[in-house]
Amino acid sequence: MTGPPEPDDPPNSQILARVRQWHADIHYLRDRGWTISAIARRPGRDRKTVRHYLTTDLDQILASARDRRLNGHLNRFKPYLRHRFRSGATNAAALFREIRESGYRGSRVAVTKYIATLRDGTATIEPKRAIPGPRRITTWIMRHPNALTAEQRDQLNRVPAACPDLAAASDLAHEFGALARERRGTDLTARMTRALDHGPPPVQGFAAFLPNDWDAVINGLTLHWSSGSVEGQVTRIKPIKRRSYGRASFTLLRTHVLAQPP
Q: How confident is the model at residue 124 (pLDDT cuts 50, 70, 90)?
A: low
| pLDDT of 190 strictly over 50 | yes
- What local confidence, expressed as pLDDT, does residue 262 receive? 65
* pLDDT (tens digit per residue) in 35-55: 888 888 876 677 888 888 888
- What local confidence, expressed as pLDDT, does residue 11 receive? 45
Q: How confident is the model at residue 182 (pLDDT cuts 50, 70, 90)?
A: confident
> 209 near 201, Cβ under 8 Å?
no
- What local confidence, expressed as pLDDT, does residue 10 receive? 43
Residue 50: closest CA among 66, 38, 64: 38
- What local confidence, expressed as pLDDT, does residue 176 receive? 84
> Residue 27 contacts by C-beta under 8 Å, 6 or more apart in sequence?
53, 54
Interval 22-32 mean pLDDT: 87
The mean predicted confidence, pLDDT, of the chain is: 79
- What local confidence, expressed as pLDDT, does residue 67 receive? 58
Interval 135-140 mean pLDDT: 84
Residues, the chain: 262
| pLDDT of 12 strictly over 60 | no
| pLDDT of 250 strictly over 50 | yes
CA separation (Å) from 5 to 13, 81, 85? 19, 22, 25
Amino acid occupying residue 156: L
For residues 218 and 185, what is the distance between their CA atoms, to the nearest angstrom? 5
| High-pLDDT (> 90) share of the chain, % | 0
* pLDDT (tens digit per residue) in 77-103: 888 888 888 888 889 889 988 888 887
* pLDDT (tens digit per residue) in 195-238: 888 888 888 888 888 888 888 888 888 888 877 788 888 888 88
Q: How confident is the model at residue 6 (pLDDT cuts 50, 70, 90)?
A: very low
Total Cβ atoms within 10 A of residue 23 = 17
- What local confidence, expressed as pLDDT, does residue 9 receive? 42
**Gyration radius of the chain over CA positions:** 26
Interval 126-135 mean pLDDT: 66
| pLDDT of 119 strictly over 80 | yes
| pLDDT of 60 strictly over 50 | yes
Q: Long-range contact list for 221-226, CB < 8 A, 24+ apart?
A: 221/179, 221/180, 221/183, 221/184, 221/185, 221/188, 222/183, 222/184, 222/185, 222/186, 223/183, 224/183
Interval 60-86 mean pLDDT: 74
- What local confidence, expressed as pLDDT, does residue 128 receive? 53
- What local confidence, expressed as pLDDT, does residue 125 receive? 60
Q: Where are the domains of the chain?
A: 1-74, 76-126, 134-222, 228-259
